[in-house]
Amino acid sequence: MEQTTKKNGFASGIGFVLAAAGSAVGLGNLWGFPYKTSANGGAAFVLVYILCVLFMGSIAMISEIFIGKRAQSNTVTAYKKIKKKMGWIGLLVIAVPTIIVCYYTVLGGWTLRFAVNSFQGANGLSNATSFVSFTADPIVPVVFTVLFMALAALIIMAGVKNGIEKYSKILMPALFIILVGIVIFSLTLGPGTESGLAFFLQPDFSELGFDGVVAAMGQAFFSLSLGMGTMIAYGSYTGKEIKLGKSAMMICIFDTLVALLAGLAMFPAISALMGEEFLLGLGAGASGPGLIYVVLPQVFSAMGGVGQFVSFAFFAMVVIAALTSVISIMEVSVQFIIQRFKTNRKKTTLIVASVCSLVSIPIAWSVGGAFDGGLNLFGYDFLTFLDEIANTLLMPLGAFGACLGVGWFIDKKLTANPMKTLRSLREEGVELGVFMKIYAVMVKFITPILILFVMLSGIVGKVGENGPSYWWIVGAGVLIVAFLVLAYFKFFYKTDCGENADEEKLEKTKA
């Protein structure tokens, strides 16, 4: 008979938590969160963000890990095991992350380049012009993107235990230590830090609109790696020994803590070294990329000699964060292909990484050209176009599906009676103590409704804000979903899509 210990699962509970935290902590925390905070008026946004984590994120987190743990399989099989007709959601949460990989690695590549370049001083990338000319270069950003992808692929090839878990256990503590160090440094920069702190910590609700609320929800899902299969896939590699509720809470808390620390690292330094006027919207014209690729390099060079070291520490930390995230996004499709087509891990990873690298090249060109109107779709550079589809539409949809699945469909007889649901959840290791009943109500009613509401009003708001061209983004999203539904019922509905045990069997036959 088979051994009970898993060959290719996480070896320990803490290994799982660190790997999942590694997935969650990424560019979303170190870049997205501070720049969205800045764009949406500061502390009020932070407060709303925390509410989103509490009322939507944590509920979806528990649900996704639960779905994976219960199924011990890739996301398609996992949703099939809930209800066969829901299998297409499993396919959706494989396809969308694979799109995300293609632009996430472009940003990861930039970060790698900035880390390498930290010691170049004023001749390096310390001003806006150098950033624009760097990203507009047709070769260098692509080289760094592929390099970054190769690093991620090497880790995935080594497997869940010997790759993902092993590196997360080293890299996550390292990241945290660097971050705390930078926060301390930043808070001791002297006069001028107070206004940065106040901006980040004292809410002024007149600065926050409903679009800020929508942004906070999107940001929470993105930052917690939700709605995109990651937590289902990682959850599937856990066994009975994991305390699901506790692990989910630890992941949410750690992810939020890192986002808050990132704010504490940046805002005081920006106000102290650049001036208060840089806090809101991060100075005139500095959009998203502006924060870590334009403003921060200027902050580092204002620090004088130590700035080079701080810059290196900072960008090395961002590389770590992005790397442990990208491996989790890629693992979702690698897992599915291995199990459905019985291919081996190394070959599968190589193919996925190569295809994504190819797609990332035009994306890199498009973002670079965006500053002077190069490659674009309906006026959006490719990165923004794809990011909008994922963030505003498909990610909330995936999280909605996870809540609906656990709340209503996992077992008709059980979900009809909330008390039985609770008991069965407990048997599966979802132990939340007094919060158990709250979870049952949230996952069934409140969270799905909230997600749907914010998602729909988000679309309306975005169309109002960006004009009718935004309908192309919505249309593309709908098209992707329609295509995946068709593909699912045609190719995967009747076929067995495999489970984790298949990879173990594959390895055995090879050995």
Interface mask toward ligand TRP for 220-239; x: CB under 6 A: --xx-x--x-x---------
Does residue 477 belong to the site contacting ligand TRP (CB under 6 A)? no
**Helix-, strand-, coil-residue percentages of the chain, each rounded to 5:** 80, 0, 20
Contacts of 439 (CB under 8 A, 6+ apart): 59, 62, 245, 425, 430, 432
- Residue 233: CB minimum distance to ligand TRP, A: 10
Which one, 96 or 294, has the nearer CB to ligand TRP?
96
Does residue 111 belong to the site contacting ligand TRP (CB under 6 A)? no
Supply 116's token pair: 């390498």
Is the CB of residue 337 less than 8 Å from the CB of residue 199?
no
Supply 468's token pair: 């009718």
- Residue 282: CB minimum distance to ligand TRP, A: 19
Interface mask toward ligand TRP for 87-106; x: CB under 6 A: ----------x---------
Radius of gyration of the chain (CA): 22
Does residue 23 belong to the site contacting ligand TRP (CB under 6 A)? yes
Single-letter amino acid code for the residue at 230: T
Q: Which residues pair with 377 in a beta bridge?
A: 380
Does residue 392 belong to the site contacting ligand TRP (CB under 6 A)? no
Supply 260's token pair: 């808050």
* Rounded CA separation 182/35 (Å): 18
Find the part of the chain contacting ligand TRP (CB under 6 A) among 43-51, 145-153, 325-333, 336-344: 325-333
Which one, 222 or 278, has the nearer CB to ligand TRP?
222
Supply 400's token pair: 């909605």
Does residue 248 belong to the site contacting ligand TRP (CB under 6 A)? no
Does residue 28 belong to the site contacting ligand TRP (CB under 6 A)? yes
User: What is the size of the binding site for ligand TRP (CB under 6 A)?
Assistant: 15
- Residue 480: CB minimum distance to ligand TRP, A: 15
* Rounded CA separation 320/309 (Å): 16
Does residue 328 belong to the site contacting ligand TRP (CB under 6 A)? yes
**Among residues 6, 19, 29, 286, which is the contact residue for ligand TRP, using CB under 6 A?**
29
Which one, 111 or 230, has the nearer CB to ligand TRP?
230
Which one, 28 or 288, has the nearer CB to ligand TRP?
28
* Rounded CA separation 114/319 (Å): 10
Q: Which residues pair with 380 in a beta bridge?
A: 377
Which one, 26 or 41, has the nearer CB to ligand TRP?
26
Which one, 135 or 230, has the nearer CB to ligand TRP?
230
Find the part of the chain contacting ligand TRP (CB under 6 A) among 19-27, 279-287, 310-318, 408-416: 19-27
The Cα diameter of the chain in Å comes to 68
How many other C-beta atoms can be found within 10 angstroms of the C-beta atom of residue 258?
24
Please choose, from the candidates 390, 398, 455, the residue with its C-alpha nearest in 3D space to the C-alpha of residue 213. 455
Find the helix or strand (DSSP H, E) in which 384 lies.
Answer: helix 382-388
How many other C-beta atoms can be found within 10 angstroms of the C-beta atom of residue 316?
19
Interface mask toward ligand TRP for 120-159; x: CB under 6 A: ----------------------------------------
Does residue 24 belong to the site contacting ligand TRP (CB under 6 A)? yes
Contacts of 293 (CB under 8 A, 6+ apart): 110, 114, 125, 131
Which one, 259 or 264, has the nearer CB to ligand TRP?
259
> Residues interacting with ligand TRP, by CB under 6 A?
23-24, 26-29, 97, 222-223, 225, 228, 230, 325, 328-329
